[in-house]
């Protein structure tokens, strides 16, 4: 029975690296995979899943209007898909998460979704909230705070390294814009 998996973590936990390793394992066994990433994230180039350790693979992109079930079902009819892997899953809509659940339930294809649990204010992303609600398996990937404790929060910082407390939920960036922290240090930074 295929399942919907949600691998979640703070920034810099190796989500994309883990996704690319899983993709390699499926392909090494001769199985076809489909990779998706958010079209809004162009840090590695449009339609590329890239990791901080230098691994990268091309991927199909999704935006708010993408019907992922239809795209996967069309591919699956012509060339059976062994696994679907989704990077930046926090940017999925609730409806798209439901579409991915249907891929697992109706098409029998496992779906591995990787993303952030919370934004820079500590609030759930809509896609992450839906994945936490309906995924068959929730797997937390670990990152480390500067104090050595488990990092669970994503602090957005300005060009001087100061905490950003307001703004749009989505702002693409890497180490220059975000710092993974434990809850204690995140709260201290947000209080100023």
Catalytic residue annotation = 88
Closest alpha carbon to 154 in 138, 170, 139: 170
Please give the C-alpha separations between residue 4 and each of 52, 60, 179, in angstroms, as whole numbers. Answer: 25, 19, 28
Selection from 15, 18, 44 nearest residue 173 by Cα = 44
């Amino acid at each position: 029975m295929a399942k919907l998996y949600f691998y979640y973590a703070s920034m810099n936990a190796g989500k994309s690296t883990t996704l690319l390793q899983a993709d390699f394992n499926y392909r090494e066994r001769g199985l076809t995979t489909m990779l998706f990433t958010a079209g809004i994230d162009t840090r590695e180039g449009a339609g590329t899943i890239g990791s901080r350790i230098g691994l990268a693979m091309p991927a199909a992109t999704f935006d708010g209007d993408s019907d992922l079930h239809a795209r996967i079902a069309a591919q699956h009819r012509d060339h059976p898909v062994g696994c679907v892997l989704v990077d930046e899953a926090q940017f999925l809509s609730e409806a798209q998460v439901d579409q991915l659940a249907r891929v697992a339930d109706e098409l029998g294809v496992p779906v591995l979704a990787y993303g952030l649990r919370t934004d820079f204010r500590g609030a759930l992303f809509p896609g992450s909230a839906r994945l936490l609600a309906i995924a068959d398996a929730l797997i937390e990937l670990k990152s480390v705070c500067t104090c050595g404790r488990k990092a669970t929060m994503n602090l957005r910082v300005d060009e001087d390294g100061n905490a950003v407390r307001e703004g749009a939920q989505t702002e693409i960036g890497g180490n220059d814009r975000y710092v993974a922290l434990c809850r204690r240090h995140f709260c201290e930074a947000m209080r100023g």
